[in-house]
Amino acid sequence: MLSRFDDYPIHQTPEPIRHPATTDRNVYDRYWFNGYSADGAYYFGIALGLYPARQVMDCAFSVVFQGKQYSFHASRRAPSDRDELEVGPFRIEVVKPMRELRVRLAPNDTGISCDLLFEATTACIEEERQILKREQRVFMDATRFTQFGRWSGEIGFPGGSIHVQPETALATRDRSWGVRSVGEPETGGAPASAGPQIFFLWAPMIWDDLCTHAFFFEDASGRQLHGEGKVAPRYATPGGVPGTEDPRLRRMAGVAHKLNYAQGTRRAESGEIIMLDEFGERHTISFEPILRFQMKGLGYRHQKWGHGVWRGELAMEGEAWDCNALDPLALDNVHIQQLVRARWGDRGGVGIVEQLCLGPHATSGFAGFLDGAP
CA 30, CA 199: separation in Å to the nearest integer? Answer: 21
The whole-number pLDDT of residue 113 equals 98
Residue range 324-337: mean pLDDT, rounded? 97
282-318 pLDDT, tens digit each: 999 999 999 999 999 999 999 999 999 999 999 999 9
| Mean model confidence pLDDT for the chain | 94
Q: 201-238, pLDDT tens digit by residue?
A: 999 999 999 999 999 999 999 999 999 999 999 998 88
The tens digit of pLDDT for each residue in 50-65 reads: 999 999 999 999 999 9
Binning pLDDT at 50, 70 and 90, where does residue 348 land? very high
Share of the chain above pLDDT 70, in %: 99
Which amino acid, residue 142?
A
Let me know: does 131 contact 149? Beta carbons within 8 Å. no
Average pLDDT over residues 2-24: 85
Contact 27, 178 (CB under 8 A): yes
Inform me whether the pLDDT recorded for 331 exceeds 80: yes
Q: Are 218 and 199 a contacting pair, CB within 8 Å?
A: yes
Q: So what's the pLDDT on residue 91?
A: 98
Q: Which residue has the higher pLDDT, 108 or 2?
A: 108
Query: Structural domains in the chain?
Result: 4-183+195-364 (2.40.370.10)
Report pLDDT for 137: 80
Least confident of 26-35, 111-120, 122-131, 324-333: 122-131
Q: How does pLDDT run across 248-260, given as a tens digit for each residue?
A: 999 999 999 999 9
